[in-house]
């Protein structure tokens, strides 16, 4: 699955950066200074890269299609949509063209069983954290982009990864009660009491994104 993401992701990012006037791209209307090419690439990698948010959502969507609305995949898939939207808002703000249709949808297969799935997706969250570790240095001069990258990294490491690790220990899934307990523990540990995961998402922490 990780190898597939890498093969698809490199081509997708290259296509977005190298092709002008894509029919499926959007252009921001806000009058802001253009971003340096390196920062544009970092934003596109976060959204479109093999370890980025489009690929993550497509991975979880594949599990839901194969196994139904099982946890923690359903809750985390919902969160990934918010991650995608956070990055799209930044790309719109700075007038960076991007693919509005997730190119990974339908290209990633769920593993043969949920236990393998939980471990694979835990590994995927680790890779996502490592992605942001590399990208943060590129965007350090942009506080708004840095804030969103930190929030998304934080969610992957502190919320999504532990949920998948718990699922792996449980044979591949968690119950709704375990998910509620996990969210409550996450919120309490990180000073997030009062934040509703189902409404706000785990990305909103200490002032939001």
Residue pair 95/28 in contact (Cβ under 8 Å)? The answer is yes
pLDDT at residue 197 in the model: 37
Checking if the pLDDT of 75 tops 60, the result is yes
Checking if the pLDDT of 194 tops 50, the result is no
Per-residue model confidence as pLDDT tens digits over 125-183: 999 999 999 999 999 999 999 999 999 999 999 889 999 999 999 999 988 777 767 66
pLDDT at residue 82 in the model: 95
Query: How many other CB atoms sit within 10 Å of the CB of residue 179?
Result: 20
Tell me if residue 174 falls in helix, strand or coil. strand
Residue pair 94/144 in contact (Cβ under 8 Å)? The answer is no
CATH of 2-200, one of 3.40.50.620, 3.40.50.970, 1.20.1260.10, 1.10.10.10: 1.20.1260.10
pLDDT at residue 107 in the model: 96
pLDDT at residue 123 in the model: 94
Per-residue model confidence as pLDDT tens digits over 86-138: 999 999 999 999 999 999 999 999 999 999 999 999 999 999 999 999 999 99
pLDDT at residue 178 in the model: 78
For residue 171, the 8-state DSSP code is T
| Tokens 């190119």 sit on residue | 103
Q: Residue 164 contacts by C-beta under 8 Å, 6 or more apart in sequence?
A: 72, 76, 118, 119, 121, 122, 125
Better pLDDT: 191 or 150 = 150
Cα angle 185-187-192, degrees, rounded to a multiple of 5: 160
pLDDT at residue 193 in the model: 45
Query: 72: cis peptide before it, omega within 30°?
Result: yes
The rounded distance, in Å, linking the Cα atoms of 175 and 161 is: 16
Per-residue model confidence as pLDDT tens digits over 21-50: 343 444 434 456 889 999 999 999 999 999
This prediction has a pTM of 0.76
Domain ranges of the chain: 2-200
pLDDT at residue 181 in the model: 73
For 18, 47, 66, 128, 166, the CA distances from 80, given in Å and listed in that order, are 26, 11, 18, 12, 19
pLDDT at residue 182 in the model: 67
pLDDT at residue 188 in the model: 63
- For 39, the token pair is 């920062």
């Amino acid at each position: 699955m990780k190898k597939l993401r890498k093969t698809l992701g490199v081509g997708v990012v290259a296509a977005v950066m190298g092709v002008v006037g894509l029919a499926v791209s959007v252009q921001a209307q806000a009058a802001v200074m253009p971003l340096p090419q390196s920062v544009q690439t970092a934003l596109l990698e976060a959204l479109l890269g093999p370890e980025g948010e489009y690929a993550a959502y497509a991975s979880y969507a594949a599990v839901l299609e194969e196994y139904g609305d099982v946890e923690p995949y359903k809750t985390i898939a919902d969160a990934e949509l918010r991650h995608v939207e956070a990055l799209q808002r930044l790309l719109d703000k700075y007038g960076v063209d991007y693919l509005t249709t997730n190119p990974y949808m339908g290209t990633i297969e769920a593993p043969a069983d949920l236990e393998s799935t939980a471990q694979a997706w835990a590994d995927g969250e680790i890779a996502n954290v490592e992605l942001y570790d590399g990208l943060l240095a590129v965007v350090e001069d942009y506080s708004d982009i840095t804030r969103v990258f930190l929030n998304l990294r934080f969610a992957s490491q502190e919320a999504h990864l532990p949920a998948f690790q718990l699922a792996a220990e449980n044979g591949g899934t968690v119950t709704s009660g375990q998910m509620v307990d996990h969210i409550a523990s996450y919120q309490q540990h990180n000073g997030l009491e009062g934040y509703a995961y189902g409404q706000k998402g785990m990305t909103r922490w200490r002032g939001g994104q």
